[in-house]
Structure 1
Amino acid sequence: MTTESHEYHSESDYTRNLHEKCQKYMYHHVVLTMTDGSSFDGIIEGIDDDRITALVGEDVMERESDELEDRQYYGGYGRPRRRRFRRFRRRFIPLAALAALSLLPYAYPSPYYYPYYPYY
């Protein structure tokens, strides 16, 4: 009677697949989903055996002192504008805490051109 050995590589295969996927999407803007359910977007910058280095985007709002300058510049009329900026910070993410990885979907322009008036 022979005993068949079933090798279960679920954890190591999954980690290896994520590692290969990270290498494939290196320097691309991706969505990283963590095992705790949180997700964020970033750019994969480097890959080690047990962690990845990603530039994670965060939104930054303008300070209120700059808002007063906008009011003075526009003569006090209208609504003051608060500008929003996007800043990227480097974060080290353990590969074991990563649940999923996907490319960030962008809206592509239509390949078909529809003119506003017909050409005759």
Structure 2
Amino acid sequence: MNQNFQHMYELCKNHMHSYVLVEMSDGSKVDGIITGLDDEYVYVAVPLGQGDEQHANAFPSDHQQRQFGFGYGYPGYGYPGYGYGYGFGRPRRFRRLILPLAALTALSVLPWY
């Protein structure tokens, strides 16, 4: 096992559940919370920015249905808050990103504020 690979694995392991800035070998940078680690990948929860919330939902039209309170039947009819447009939970605030551990070059711990 490569010494740099082992070093990055230990850094990720020691900073599990911490908010970090990860730099990749291609120069790109990702900030997020390390949520998991295995022999090949590091799993990072990346905060969504403005406008990204709608793209993170499982159903693209779900956002519109919750916003306008559609119920059973056609839009505007039925009981708002019941039926298809209800019960999908809170909007997502993070998306999961899986990064190859071999491509990591640097890891910095960031403050939460």
* Superposed pair shares fold, TM > 0.5: yes
Contact 2:16 / 2:34 at 8 angstroms: preserved in 1?
Answer: yes
Q: Output the CA distance in 2 between the equivalents of 1:33 and 1:57.
A: 16
Larger radius of gyration: 1
Residue 33 (structure 1) aligned with residue 23 (structure 2): yes
Specify which structure has the higher proportion of strand: 1
Task: Name the aligned partner's letter for residue 15 of structure 2.
Answer: Y
Unaligned runs of at least 5 residues, structure 1:
1-10, 64-85, 108-120
State which drifts further: 24-33 or 96-105.
Answer: 96-105
Residue 56 (structure 1) aligned with residue 56 (structure 2): no
Report deviation, 1:40: 1.6
**Where do residues 9-48 of structure 1 align in structure 2 (5 Å cutoff)?**
12-48=2-38
Q: Output the CA distance in 2 between the equivalents of 1:30 and 1:103.
A: 4
Alignment match of 1:90 (pick from 91, 96, 101) = 96
Contact 2:23 / 2:30 at 8 angstroms: preserved in 1?
Answer: yes
Q: Hey, which bits of structure 1, 4+ residues long, moved more than 2 A?
A: 60-63
Among all aligned residue pairs of Structure 1 and Structure 2, give the percentage whose two residues are the same amino acid: 43
Q: Output the CA distance in 2 between the equivalents of 1:46 and 1:19.
A: 11
Q: Could you state the TM-score of these two structures normalised by the residue count of structure 2?
A: 0.59
Q: Output the CA distance in 2 between the equivalents of 1:106 and 1:28.
A: 9
Q: Could you state the TM-score of these two structures normalised by the residue count of structure 1?
A: 0.56
Q: Output the CA distance in 1 between the equivalents of 2:30 and 2:12.
A: 15
Deviation digits for residues 64-104 of structure 1, max 9, x if unmatched? xxxxxxxxxxxxxxxxxxxxxx8310111000111110101
Unaligned runs of at least 5 residues, structure 2:
55-91
Query: Once superposed, what is the RMSD of the aligned Cα atoms?
Result: 2.5
